[in-house]
A and B are shown apart, each in its own frame.
Chain A
Amino acid sequence: MGNNPFFHFLALSLFAERRKHLMVIGLSVVLIFLLASTLFISSSLQHSLRSALVSEPDFVVQRVRGDHLLPVPLDWADEIAQLHGVDRVASRVWGRYYTEPKGKSFLIVGIDFLEDQSHRALSKLAEGTDLRRFLSGEEMIVGQGVARWMRTHFYPHGYNFLTPKGAFVKLKLFKVLPRDSSLVADDMVIVPIETARKILGLSPEEATDVTFNVPNDDEWSNVESKVSAMHYDLRVISKKETRAAYDQIFNYKGGFFLVLFLIVLLAFVLILYQRASQVFSQEKRSIGILRALGWSIRDVLSLKLYETLAVVVSSFILGSVAAYFYVFALGAPLLRQIFLGAGNLASAPRLVPVLDFSVLSSIFLLYGVSFIAAVLLPVWKIAVTDPKEAML
């Protein structure tokens, strides 16, 4: 390649017009960076949530009246457990606790230590700590966001929760969850189930909802209809519906950016096309000179094609790599708030690196093809004219 005169001429031409190329590369890098960042965030969140869904129970049963959640009687769990094909029936206690009305909120989650699976998972999570102290009921495990909020509000070692009955429940800080779990647990406060009941004002015979698994996938719809027929005011939510809901949230936001990108890309291509169609007299002359020197139309088009490819590939690499480090090394400051919100506690989860090659190739095709077409069409129009006319 180094001895090829065509390649030498191409390199010369690229550096001779470097100011023009750098401007186009700069604009393209910004466009690709923004789009790739949003799509990286979206695909990383979806990937993490899908893998987290594996640990989620297959079905959730809630008591609903007028689209309003009511506590579920614990008897419901026993009724569901009697159905054939149903496994791991458990009651959950969770709810939002507001530090002040309409203020910041924590998600209180009660853990039942008598349940074997929860106990084992908690032992793993609280490795290296004295779990018996946590089981005493006066300690809590909090997410990163809650720990940050407590520090900034002068509660470095614990917090006093106000129950609906007006009494205070004082809980000491036992452990802060790792940053890797912030995606689901940033605003979470994990406490023993009885403590959670006190804070949320539930009686010992009540829970927020009931969960169960159905190991045989073929029985899902049958069991779902059986459970739905048990009471008039219950709602059964399957894992598949939850997955669809998450996909919808992030695809919607990612898709919204894609539409914005397409509009911006269209404007960019129009500007390029307009600029290239009113090719400067100097460029017209250079194409005319090349043609007069004996270059064929094909040679001229190849030169411009390689020139444009160099610009497109450089912009794509710079934009994508910058987006990769911005999202997966820096955690996508500012942009992540579009996906995760900023209305409650400031959330800063670590995003799992996910390289979705279909996303990358789509960006490259959308950007590259339109860019190359916008540059090559006007060049072809000049190249096919008589060299004398082109040089005028």
Chain B
Amino acid sequence: MIARFYAVAAFLLFLLLAAFSHYLLSDRAGMQQRLADTVAVTGLDSPALSVQWFEPRLRRFEASLDPAYPELLPTDRLDFVYGDLYGK
């Protein structure tokens, strides 16, 4: 029984070592650098959230509509007074 116990413990240790070696060997700095390079070009660091048309894609920079009633424009948008940004 003791041999089996050691085998299970060795297996668990192997799993831990595999995770740690993946963590240590992964190119974390390179991944972050490539991300930072893209942000340096665009100046937009908002996560690329895969959103519906009525949800904001750039948090803090875009306002969302009411997701429960996407067809209903909020009363404070005043499109009818100022016109739309893209002339739709």
Contacts and interface: CB of A to CB of B under 8 A. Distances in A.
B47 A45 contact: yes
A313 B19 CA distance: 16
Contacts of A324: 19, 22-23
B82 to A, nearest CB: 5
Contacts of B76: 66-67
A317 B4 contact: no
Contact of B62 (A69, A242, A321, A352): A69
Contacts of B66: none
B31 A15 contact: no
A90 B43 contact: yes
Given A55-B45, A118-B41, A184-B39, A329 B22 contact: yes
B16 A121 contact: no
A367 to B, nearest CB: 16
Interface stretch (A57-65, A75-83, A221-229, A265-273): A57-65
Contacts of A95: 85-86
Given A121-B40, A355-B23, A345 B50 contact: yes
Contacts of A111: 41-42
Interface residues of B, number: 56
Given A117-B40, A188-B48, A246-B59, A183 B35 contact: yes
Contacts of A103: 53
A67 B28 contact: no
A341 B53 CA distance: 12
A129 interface: no
A343 B32 contact: no
Contacts of B19: 320-321, 324-325
B86 A181 contact: no
Interface in B7-58: 8, 12, 15-16, 18-19, 22-23, 26, 28, 30-32, 34-53, 55, 57-58
Contacts of A331: none
Question: Which residue, of B22, B34, B35, B52, has the highest number of chain A Cβ atoms within 10 A?
Answer: B35
B69 interface: no
Contacts of A201: 86-87
A45 B4 CA distance: 40
A57 B43 contact: yes
A11 B1 contact: yes
A377 interface: no
Given A55-B36, A117-B40, A245-B59, A49 B45 contact: yes
Nearest to B86: A201
Contacts of A184: 35, 38-39, 42, 44-48
Interface in A40-64: 45, 48-49, 51-57, 60, 62
A187 B48 contact: yes
Interface string A3-16: 00001100110110
Contact of A49 (B47, B60, B82, B86): B47
B86 A121 contact: no
14 contacts: A51-B35, A67-B76, A70-B82, A103-B53, A181-B37, A183-B48, A237-B60, A237-B61, A249-B59, A317-B15, A324-B22, A340-B47, A343-B55, A346-B50
Q: 9 shortest A-B CB distances, which residue pairs?
A: A66-B78, A121-B40, A186-B48, A343-B52, A181-B38, A341-B50, A180-B34, A55-B39, A11-B5
